[in-house]
Chains A and B, each alone.
Chain A
Amino acid sequence: EPEVTQTPSHQVTQMGQEVILRCVPISNHLYFYWYRQILGQKVEFLVSFYNNEISEKSEIFDDQFSVERPDGSNFTLKIRSTKLEDSAMYFCASSEGWQGNTEAFFGQGTRLTVV
């Protein structure tokens, strides 16, 4: 069964460092998303991406964040200068469409720890 793959599963970084979280969405999907979940809290939308551009972003997704689809398979989230409060589980998701019962398939997540 096709799945969304995220690497690494866990990343520890020092405050102020740049991190890149990587995702390989399901191959025929057109819509890509990043969500984050701070430990013990609800899942929050960060950004959606379609046709090589951001289609929507939340207020969390400030200038420190960027997304890119550098080739036909990868979808990355970059945090330029990490802060302690960026520590969270980051989920990549993809969907075939966005209407109707098109569900988003989530990856297994990357746990980011900023120290």
Chain B
Amino acid sequence: AQKITQTQPGMFVQEKEAVTLDCTYDTSDQSYGLFWYKQPSSGEMIFLIYQGSYDEQNATEGRYSLNFQKARKSANLVISASQLGDSAMYFCAMRVNTGFQKLVFGTGTRLLVSP
């Protein structure tokens, strides 16, 4: 069975600083995808970044980068130059590419960016 673990229920960061949100995963499959979603207080789920299990380079999308360490089964999200608007819940999720299309989510990390 697939599992995502996010051990940080809450994180605080000052504006303009970088922050790392941790995510570890467990799967016996060789082919999988890892996603990060942002959920602001309004409730919608916003896709941020994707990393495939066979991707050799870490994914980057603007201020978001994914620190992918396959041997350690971790896929940490790094947000550089935090902004007040980054305050939200952040969910790590995994999809296993074996014909199942569901995402398995972690419990989330609430990030608070202070001025």
Contact = CB atoms under 8 A, between A and B. Distances in A.
The answer on A and B forming one complex is: yes
Main secondary structure of the interface of A (DSSP, over half): strand
Contact of B95 (A43, A58, A98): A98
Interface in B40-97: 42-47, 50, 52, 91, 93, 95, 97
B43 A101 contact: no
Interface residues of B, number: 24
Interface in A5-56: 31, 33, 35, 41-45, 48, 50, 55-56
A104 B103 contact: yes
Given A43-B45, A111-B43, A31 B101 contact: yes
Contact of A48 (B37, B43, B102): B102
B101 A55 contact: yes
A105 B37 CA distance: 10
